[in-house]
Chains A and B, each alone.
Chain A
Amino acid sequence: MSSQDVDVDTRDVQVAVARSEDVVDARQQGRNLAISLGFTSSEATLIAAVISELARNIVKYAGHGQIIMRSGPDGMLFVIARDNGPGIADVRAALRPAFSTSGGLGLGLAGVRRIADQFEIVSDSGGTTVTLGKRRR
């Protein structure tokens, strides 16, 4: 299985991401899903901010991709950001705090991972998939 393959369930919220407007759309749908799952407004805003970062990375580095959001067991919300872009050359380096290949504009994957309860990244020449789980408090 290559990194960009994710089984999409019909109950998932899926947003195609290619433009600046899509980043806003993805984060707003993520916030709505989080609220509907019982997350507090603050937690939902944090999730929306993280989705914004992941979606922007897709636009910036891959051109286009998807954000998939789904509810999991035990009050988990999963955010899956996937693209068919060039992949991350050195994932371990990309997870270091303060790592950036583009001038340090973003939060970086380390910042995203820091607030996650579950975090996984798979990247190869066929694309990148970041999966983040956030548990309801």
Chain B
Amino acid sequence: MAWPSVPILKEGDVLIASIQSALTDVDLVALRDALVKQVSTYRTRGVIVDVTALDVVDSFASRTLRDLAHMIRLRGARTVIVGIQPEVAFAMVQLGLTLEDIPTALDLEEGMAFLGAR
């Protein structure tokens, strides 16, 4: 498994995955699986995925982020996606891609506030 391409930090009862560079499809699926698993290991209540460094969110990436958030919700925690860049948002809208009901926030700080993290 290609690991660890995305560092996952624990901050109180929140897990923070900070994507550092462009990710392959394989990396994205590995991140999804790692977060879904680690929710229970650390008794997490919230997960933040920081996508600031993602170069592109295409159909696979948006699908995988949605799946990740839905799986984590089924595990009893909440997910917020932070750091979608303006040009990435532009491209997603042009292509008709959405994150559906997944909460988003401007940056890490806003994401922590959204989750009510201490």
The residues of A with any CB-CB pair to B shorter than 8 Å are: 20-21, 23-24, 27-28, 31, 40-42, 44-46, 48-50, 52-53, 56, 105-107, 111, 114-115
Q: Does B86 make an interface contact (CB < 8 A)?
A: yes
User: When the two chains form their complex, are residues B87 and A42 in contact, meaning their CB atoms are under 8 A apart?
Assistant: yes
- Report B-chain residues with C-beta under 8 Å of the C-beta of A31: 55-56
Question: Which of A23, A46, A106 has a CB less than 8 Å from the CB of B91?
Answer: A46
> Which residues B19-60 have CB closer than 8 A to chain A?
22-27, 55-60
Q: Tell whether A53 pairs with B59 under 8 Å between CB atoms, given A42-B87, A45-B87.
A: yes
Q: How far is the CA of A21 from the CA of B92 in the complex (A)?
A: 21
User: When the two chains form their complex, are residues A107 and B95 in contact, meaning their CB atoms are under 8 A apart?
Assistant: yes
Question: Closest approach, in angstroms, between the C-beta of A39 and any C-beta of chain B?
Answer: 11
Dominant SS among interface residues on chain A = helix
- Report A-chain residues with C-beta under 8 Å of the C-beta of B56: 27, 31, 45, 48-49, 52
- Report A-chain residues with C-beta under 8 Å of the C-beta of B24: 20-21, 23-24
User: When the two chains form their complex, are residues B59 and A42 in contact, meaning their CB atoms are under 8 A apart?
Assistant: no
User: When the two chains form their complex, are residues A46 and B94 in contact, meaning their CB atoms are under 8 A apart?
Assistant: yes
Q: How far is the CA of A107 from the CA of B87 in the complex (A)?
A: 18
User: When the two chains form their complex, are residues A44 and B95 in contact, meaning their CB atoms are under 8 A apart?
Assistant: no
Closest 3 CB pairs of A and B: A20-B24, A42-B90, A107-B59
- Report A-chain residues with C-beta under 8 Å of the C-beta of B25: 20, 23, 56
